[in-house]
Amino acid sequence: MLGHFITGVTIVTAIHADEPVGFTCQSFGALSMDPPLVLLCPSKASASWPKAAASGRFGVNVLANNQIELCRRFAVSGGDKFADVTWTAAKLSGAPKLAGTVSWLECEIVTVHEAGDHWIVVARVLDLATVTDQQPLTFFRGTLAGFSSHEPPESPRVLATPASSNSNG
């Protein structure tokens, strides 16, 4: 049932021991506008999250609909996830900003809460940018897919009731 809620897909990145680290995370969302806060929920089984958390700051890369393979690469443990991946360093944390993403945020950890088999991480947004006008990658019922927008159907017109038929007179 929980998989019936569509989410965007992100890759969380950081620098740990002078090396880039990252992992795919679809449990991400806006929390507050004032101050600007976000939350994410990495798995306690993640090998990458403790390394990212150790730096205190991280990046959130919102994936575009053409980045399914990148999403899959960062969803598994081990290996050099950053091999042949184009990225630049964020100005405050050095966290990798992945090329071709929809948008990017640089964040600083405010607090971390234990919640079942995940952590709830609240972070302050330090910087953000829209990178491309691509549509986002989404996750729904265990499937990665592109997002497509459409115009809502025209709503039916409400017929005006003539004043003479008003029973309140």
Mean pLDDT per 10-residue interval, the chain, length 169 residues: 73 97 93 96 95 96 94 92 96 96 97 96 96 82 72 60 51
Say what the pLDDT of residue 168 is.
53
Cβ atoms within 10 Å, residue 123: 24
Q: How far is CA 65 from CA 10, 17, 62, 90, 110, in A?
A: 11, 31, 10, 23, 30
Q: Look up the pTM and report it.
A: 0.84
Say what the pLDDT of residue 158 is.
55
Longest dimension (CA), the chain: 79
Say what the pLDDT of residue 138 is.
75
| Rounded Cα distance, 115 and 102, in Å | 29
Q: Which CATH architecture has domain 8-142?
A: Roll (2.30)
- Residue 110 tokens read as 């405010």
- Residue 165 tokens read as 């038929």
Q: Across-strand partners of 97?
A: 88
